[in-house]
Amino acid sequence: MTAGGWIMIALSWSFIIGLSVFCMKRVIGLKNSQADHIKPIYEIDTGDLGDSEKKKNK
Amino acid sequence: MPRENWSSRIGIILAVAGSAVGLGNFLRFPVQAAQNGGGAFMIPYIIALLLLGIPLCWVEWTMGRAAGGRGHGSGPGILNVFWSHRFSRYFGSLGIFIPLMIYFYYVYIESWCLAYAWYAISGSLGAAATAGEAKNFLTAFQGLADNQWFSGISSAYLFFLITFVINFLVIYRGVVKGIETISKIAMPILVVLGVVIMFRVLTLGAPDPARPEWSLTGGLGFMWNPDFSALTDAKVWLSAAGQIFFTTSVGLGLIITYASYLKENDDVALSGLSSISINEFMEVVIGASIAIPAAFIFFGPDGIKEVAEGGAFNLGFVTMPMIFDQMPMTALLGFIWFFLLFLAGVTSSISMLQPAIAFLEDEFGFIRKQSVSFLGLFTFIAAQPAIFFLDKGVLDMMDFWAGTFAIVLFATGEVIIFGWVYGIDKGFDQLHHGADIKVPRIFKFIIKYVTPSYLIIILSYWFYQDGIDNLLLRKVSDENFPYALATMLGMVIFLAGIVAAVEIAWRKKDRKS
């Protein structure tokens, strides 16, 4: 294996393992309730049947 | 009937990752990398991951969650929530068509893994020690030849039936008790089995003292030594983009369906990224460290080229049994390898059934028993051509149109509807609702401009390169022509049937309202 091969394997594995560790750390470290406050949901008004029914009910 | 919701965040992440981790992670990726510049392949691969895989994953998670809250869990309903035009519903039919078409042949290939796991542990596979014998074993098992191992297709058919029943038992139990439970069990086992096999390969060293260059470092070198001149070849970039599509499960209609079972405030940004990261770990770290390095150690620098050119199936079902045959604990290692592939297959195949189940339940009001019985009967019949006409080009035809071309087409439609029709600003806000990470703003630009452009280039190139020939059946031999034509017509009729079903479902709803 050449030095280039070792560099490619090191960079690729670092990126993938780093991404995995970052995600798992965040997923395991957060409780579901912590996610609720960030932004209000956009009302999707596309004329879809479900939306029309919702409006009628309101 | 109320829609189900995932019982835990880790459940949906593992289910989506399970859907993505399949045979391609362990067989297709190493072959693609070895054929397309070795370590240099990782440059277009990572770029495609950042410009296609991750953005599309976020788009699908976001669209699925939003539409699920409005009672839609399959392509037609989901796209229609984001674009109320009736064309979106018809186009969304691809989100049911693609996974089912792939399921029709994937379930049979998945059953080979179960069969090989059984033959490995029972010792039958060990008798096929040379390349010729291993190939004969496979073709006889598939019912394409009679020899000392098999006569007829009955063994393969038995394993197909077992696999088929396992899939539907999982689906019948529903999203939480079925899919989520099996994902929580299978995925950790998959990782452990992968690490066991990887550890075995990485500790092989150079087993033949007479040929010290046939070593692990040589094998890793074959896989990872960069050939940067390959980057000037457009095909390498397209192969990398294609691999990202195959591996991340985007464009298949699966992620949008799974995400539709999320609650309104559930995170999609971190969960989507997490499922991608698990899949990439299984592919780039584990998948890349098994088959090709092991094949190099036992077949050397010349033999490995032939192995890589033989393709992914040859590597998995012919080369790997021969490799295990030369190691201690042949039966156990063979069993672990094929059971690993089988588990990867099961978690993928069940996800291919769920969009159709969601369509029948959400849009037609079927109860679980009805939807599973209907789909079970339909898929059982539709899976037969791939089994009995395997050597007639039926599988190749289905794989090109449904498993390659339609995936990119569907993903292109999704990202255009999300970024342009619905609007990237609103879409990006949707993505951030309940998010546990902040997605960099550059992804607004990527989702709106870069991803659709990239997809259109891939789509055009594939259509130009293979699509026209496939459409006109130019590459089909005279002998296989009737089968190819029948497959093509069958696919058109099937897609038209789904579009008709979508129209009926919405007309019924319109009448009710």
ipTM of the modeled complex: 0.88
The reported pLDDT for the residue numbered A47 is 53
For all residues of chain B together, what is the average pLDDT? 92
Q: Judge contact between B239 and B304, C-beta under 8 A.
A: no
Two structure tokens written together for B311: 């393709």
- Looking at A36-45, B72-81, B492-501, which range is the least confident one? A36-45
Exposure string of B287-317, with b = 16+ CB inside 10 Å and e = fewer, is: bbbbbbbbbbbbbbeeebeebbebebbbbbb
pLDDT band at residue A39 using 50, 70 and 90 as cut-offs: very low
Stretch B402-429: mean pLDDT? 94
**A45 interface with B at CB cutoff 8 Å:** no
Say how many C-beta atoms besides its own lie within 10 A of residue B217's C-beta: 16
At residue B471 the predicted structure's pLDDT band, cuts being 50, 70 and 90, is: confident
The answer to whether B513 contacts A50, with C-beta atoms less than 8 Å apart, is: no
Q: Which residue has the higher pLDDT, B200 or B450?
A: B450
Region of residue B71 (phi > 0: left; psi between -120 and 50: alpha; otherwise: beta): left
Alpha helices (H) in chain A, listed in sequence order: 3-29, 49-57
The pLDDT confidence band at residue A45, using thresholds 50, 70 and 90, is: low
Structure letter (DSSP) for residue B4: P
At residue B385 the predicted structure's pLDDT band, cuts being 50, 70 and 90, is very high
Least confident of A31-35, B348-352, B437-441, B504-508: A31-35
Residue B501 is which amino acid?
A: A
Residue B46 and residue A1: Cβ atoms within 8 Å?
A: no
Q: What is the pLDDT of residues B123-149, one digit of tens each?
A: 888 777 787 888 899 999 999 889 888
| Inside any domain, residue B407 | yes
Q: Which residues of B420-443 are buried (b: 16+ CB within 10 A; e: fewer)?
A: ebbebeebbebbbbbbbbebeeeb
The number of domains in chain B is 1
CA distance B317 to B112: 9
Give me the total of CB pairs closer than 8 Å, taking one residue from chain A and one from chain B. Answer: 129
pLDDT number for residue A51: 52
3-state DSSP of B269-319: HHHHHHHHHHHHHHHHHHHHHCHHHHHHHHHHHHHHHHHHHCCHHHHHHHH
> What was the pLDDT predicted at B481?
92
Cβ B120 vs Cβ B334: under 8 Å? yes
- Distance between CA atoms of residues B152 and B144, nearest Å: 8
Among A4, A27, A38, the residue with its CB nearest the CB of B225 is A4
Confidence of residue B466 (pLDDT cuts 50, 70, 90): confident
Give residue B492's domain range. Answer: 9-511
Instruction: Report the gap between the CA of A39 and the closest CA in chain B (Å).
Output: 5
CB contact under 8 A, B277 and A16: yes
Q: Is the pLDDT score of B254 beyond 80?
A: yes
- Does the pLDDT at position B360 exceed 90? yes
Q: What is the pLDDT of residue A37?
A: 42
Tell me what the mean pLDDT of segment B166-189 comes to: 95
Q: Is residue B494 part of a domain?
A: yes
Q: How near does any CA of chain A get to the CA of B81, in Å?
A: 6
Whether residue B2 lies inside any domain: the answer is no
Q: pLDDT tier at A6 (50, 70, 90 boundaries)?
A: very high
- Higher-pLDDT residue of B76, A44: B76
Confidence of residue B398 (pLDDT cuts 50, 70, 90): confident
CA distance B72 to B358: 8
Report CA-CA distances (Å) from B251 to A51, B57, B113, B415. 26, 9, 25, 10
Rounded Cα–Cα distance for residues B330 and B126 (Å): 7
| pLDDT bucket at B23, cuts 50 / 70 / 90 | confident
For the cut 90, the answer to whether the pLDDT of residue B327 exceeds it is no
B466 vs chain A: nearest CA distance in angstroms? 31
Contact (Cβ atoms closer than 8 angstroms) between residue B304 and residue B222: yes
Mean pLDDT of B412-440: 95
Q: Tell me the pLDDT tens digit for each residue of B195-236.
A: 999 998 899 888 888 888 889 999 999 989 999 999 998 889
- Does residue B3 lie in a domain region? no
Q: Kindly report the nearest CA distance between residue B216 and chain A, in angstroms.
A: 9
**B323 compared with A51, residue with greater pLDDT:** B323
Residue among B16, B52, B79, B92 at smallest CA distance from B267: B16
Pairwise pLDDT comparison (B20 vs A52), residue with the higher score? B20
pLDDT of residue B266 exceeding 60: yes
* Nearest by Cα to B97 from B504, B494, B396: B494
Mean of the per-residue pLDDT values for chain A? 72
C-alpha–C-alpha distance, residues B331 and B335, integer Å: 6
Query: Which chain B residues touch A50 with a CB distance below 8 Å?
Result: 70-72, 81
Q: For residue B122, what are the contacts with CB-CB under 8 A and spacing of at least 6?
A: B331
Instruction: Return the pLDDT at B368.
Output: 93
Tell me what percent of the residues of chain B surpass a pLDDT of 70: 100
> Tokens 């050597």, residue?
B391
In a domain, B188, yes or no: yes
Min distance B453 CA to chain A CA atoms (Å): 26
Structure tokens at A52: 């029309």
Which among B10, B58, B84 is the top mutation candidate for probing chain A, defined by the most A β-carbons within 10 Å of its own β-carbon?
B84
Do the chains contact at A44 and B66, CB–CB below 8 Å?
A: yes
The answer to whether residue B345 is domain-embedded is yes
Predicted pLDDT of residue B285: 95
**Chain-chain contact of B71 with A50 (C-beta, under 8 angstroms):** yes
Residues in chain B: 513
pLDDT at B315: 85
User: Residue B372 is part of a domain; what is its CATH number?
Assistant: 1.20.1740.10
Query: Phi, psi (5° rounding) for residue B414?
Result: -60, -50
Instruction: Reply yes or no on whether the pLDDT at A35 is more than 50.
Output: no
